[in-house]
Amino acid sequence: MLRSGGARFDVRCSSEGRSRFYEWARRGQNKIRPSISCRLKNNAVTVSDTEKCIIGKIDNVKTSANRQVKAQPFLIFFRSILPFLLFFLRNVNAAEEPVLKEAKRSRINVDVILVNGNVYTVNEKQPRAESIAVRDQRIVFVGSNEYARKFRGDKTRIIDLAGRTVVPGFTDAHCHIFGIGEREINLNLEGTNTLDDFLAKVQAHVAQTERGKWITGRGWIETFWKPQRFPSRKDLDKIAPENPVFLTRADGHAAIANSAALNIARIDKRTPNPFGGEILKDETTGEPTGMLLDNAQDLVAKNIPKPTEAEHEQAFLLGVNREIGLGWCEIQNAGSHADDIRIIRQCFDDGKVKLRFINAVYGPGDDAQRFLREGPIINAYDHRFTQRTIKVIFDGALGSRGAALLKPYNDAPDTSGFLTEKPEDLRPMFEAALRRGIQVETHAIGDRANRVILDLYEQAFKAVSPDQRKIREPRWRVEHAQIVDPADLPRFAKLGVIPSMQPSHAISDLFFAPARLGMDRLVDAYAWQSFLKSGCMIPGGSDAPVERGEPMIEFYAAVARKSIRGESGEGWHPEQAVSREQALKMFTTWPAYAAFEENDKGSIEVGKLADFTVLSQDIMKIPEPEILKTHAVMTVVGGEIIFSDSQSN
């Protein structure tokens, strides 16, 4: 349907013609911004007359926040429509009935209209609005309440936002969905602020657990304990002598095991460290302390009975529902194995998931090789599921001293961390990924890990020239990019590599990062503004369950660069904080670009998917501490309300 000055033309076309038209229009070969509204019964194409329209001298144009275009319909119509008419005459199977007959229709009826909103569109050409109209899961109008009501039909649902703030649907660009759900099922050790609190919580769980059964949990972190020390197997042996215990640190890169668990895994003083991991041992006796770093965790973890398929699905759906309730419209799941993918796809098959989902497959290994053979999955389940990325874990975490540094740790001069994959194992996979159109994202926290992965990316880009790639600009990513040497930071933009970062890591890690790194290396740690000024965009994530996974904590951390209690300190570098406009892009348009979705998501504009997060307060204006008190009132995906906070209505 082509619209100008009130005239509307419904152009009927074959699916091939419609596809060619949409791609042609998207490439900018016209003066009107198009959008598809694909009802199968009429294959209508809806075009906005308020975007990229040629405006003549006699036209009346309103450029306020509620931007409309009122124009002389005859002149605007012919100047705007002529390229499309010529295109369709050449390329489209037109319907038999005259097009002019359809122009008599006074309006298009939409499915949903949201009115009385405080809308931040993240669209520079129309930054603010108060109303949005949705048809067939896509936005067909953005502007004022008055004009939106012209789209109302007999079956249109009107949603009164009562002045609440609306932003493009939030995307968590980095989380671990099964871990989020498992945290809710297993022993959750978040918030244990002392060793005694930690042990008391474990002991209470032991009392409710059958003798001999494994006890697993996650979420503890010793950096706030006094003294700051890892727990030991002896601590756990006192409270759980007859149950094997395996408790993962919050970051997922370390775990503590008791003696029963170590015995099952046959770990003793003679056990060597695996590649990419470390078994911490007592300096005097040589006996294992129970702390296992990175790949050493697998020595015990492989002995833990796997959850049943029903338990695995329960964890997945718990994670999904939690994300929706927090206001996330899309998540980018940072790694999965074959068993995970089977559960994810089955839940989509059964209609149990309405969240948009970008999935990555762990590599190198059998899962990644299978993925490279089968190729990517794009926009399955009606734009709900895409799998086009391989995830590599290349070093450990800063807190557990596994992050690979160029120089030794300031508080542990005998170690500089370690890489968890061998470069020679990655090179062939990277080259194959370029040829197959597969994106790569790599966990790299330390400055050595970041330098080496940039080297490997650059080598792959040189080995596989753009004309040999399925996607010329592959948009490969580095996940975390927390400590980057000043010489390497400009290489991200130069190579077209995207730093995917999680603001809450800064406000958590900066309590202990000075001890780990020393003040000199903190200058280039969590360097958001430095990356932006170098020409990068930063998709923002939460890394839940490493962090709590709440969008308002992430937004607050990005703009305040203070703890949730308002604390700051030496080495926190507040100049690296971002503006609120930049923070909003971190969770909307920049994750969309990082996932090749910028034509469908990331901003509120005509033609894009109708995904919105409705918030209880205006996060662009309220004082920083109030951001943490803000919550999601509605989560809208494809124009459907998939979460609503009834207490806020």
Among 269, 294, 267, 273, residue whose Cα is nearest residue 281: 269
What average pLDDT does this structure show over 291-301? 95
Give CATH 3.10.310.70 domain extents, the chain: 177-301
pLDDT attached to residue 647 = 65
Contact 1, 45 (CB under 8 A): yes
Dump pLDDT digits (tens) for 472-528: 999 999 999 999 999 999 999 999 999 999 999 999 998 899 999 999 999 989 999
CB 491 within 8 A of CB 539: no
The tokens 């994750």 sit on which residue?
591
Ranges of beta strands (E only) in 314-471 are: 328-333, 356-362, 377-379, 385-393, 439-444
Work out the mean pLDDT of the chain and round it to a whole number: 86
Angle, helix 309-326 to helix 338-349, in steps of 10 degrees: 70
**What pLDDT band is residue 7 in, cutting at 50, 70 and 90?**
very low
Q: Decide if 174 contacts 359 (C-beta within 8 A).
A: no
Contact assessment for residue 462 and residue 495, using Cβ atoms and an 8 Å cutoff: no
* Backbone torsions φ then ψ of 480, nearest 5 degrees: 95, -60
pLDDT single digits (tens) 247-270: 999 888 999 999 999 999 999 999
Instruction: Determine how β-strand 245-249 pairs with β-strand 215-220.
Output: parallel
Q: Environment class of residue 44 by beta-carbon count within 10 Å: exposed (0-12), middle (13-18) or buried (19+)?
A: buried
The sign one gets for the Cα dihedral 253, 259, 260, 264 is positive
Nearest to 278 by CA among 117, 182, 395, 132: 395
* φ and ψ at residue 217, rounded to 5 degrees: -170, 175
Give the pLDDT score at 649.
53
pLDDT in tens, 82-105: 444 444 433 433 322 332 233 234
pLDDT greater than 70 at residue 428? yes
Nearest alpha carbon to residue 318 among 126, 218, 470, 177 = 177
Residues 6 or more apart from 270 whose CB is under 8 A from it? none
Lowest mean pLDDT segment, chosen from 16-25, 246-255, 271-280: 16-25
Tokens of 568: 């700051």
Give the per-residue pLDDT at 224: 79
CA distances from 68 to 76, 82, 129, 315, 605 (A): 14, 22, 10, 47, 13
pLDDT at residue number 108 = 74
pLDDT digits (tens, 9 = 90+) for 147-178: 998 999 999 999 999 999 999 999 999 999 99
CB atoms inside a 10 Å sphere around CB 190 = 15
The rounded distance, in Å, linking the Cα atoms of 132 and 147 is 10
Question: Which CATH code for domain 177-301?
Answer: 3.10.310.70
Task: Name which of 240-254, 576-590, 614-628 the model is least confident about.
Answer: 240-254
pLDDT single digits (tens) 429-479: 999 999 999 999 999 999 999 999 999 999 999 999 999 999 999 999 999
Q: With contact defined as beta carbons under 8 Å apart, do 357 and 384 qualify?
A: yes
The DSSP-derived string for 459-508 is: HHHHHS-GGGSSSSS---EEEE--B--TTTHHHHHHHT-EEEB-HHHHHH
For residues 411 and 393, give the distance between their C-alpha atoms in angstroms, rounded to a whole number. Answer: 24
Q: How far apart are CA 460 and CA 593, in angstroms?
A: 22
pLDDT digits (tens, 9 = 90+) for 50-64: 333 322 332 333 333
> How many other CB atoms are found less than 10 A from the CB of residue 109?
13
> Which residues have CB under 8 Å from 7's CB, separation 6+?
73, 77, 103
Of the ranges 76-90, 483-497, 546-560, 596-610, which one carries the lowest mean pLDDT score? 76-90
Residues 530-567: b if buried by 16+ CB within 10 A, e if exposed:
bbbeeebbbbbbbbbbbbbbbbbbbbbbbbbbbbbeee
* Cβ–Cβ under 8 Å, residues 122 and 585: yes
What is the predicted pLDDT for the residue at 232? 95
**Residue-level pLDDT at 46:** 37
For residues 420 and 394, the answer to whether their CB atoms sit within 8 Å is yes
Check: CB of residue 2 under 8 Å from CB of residue 47: yes
Does residue 113 carry a pLDDT above 60?
Answer: yes
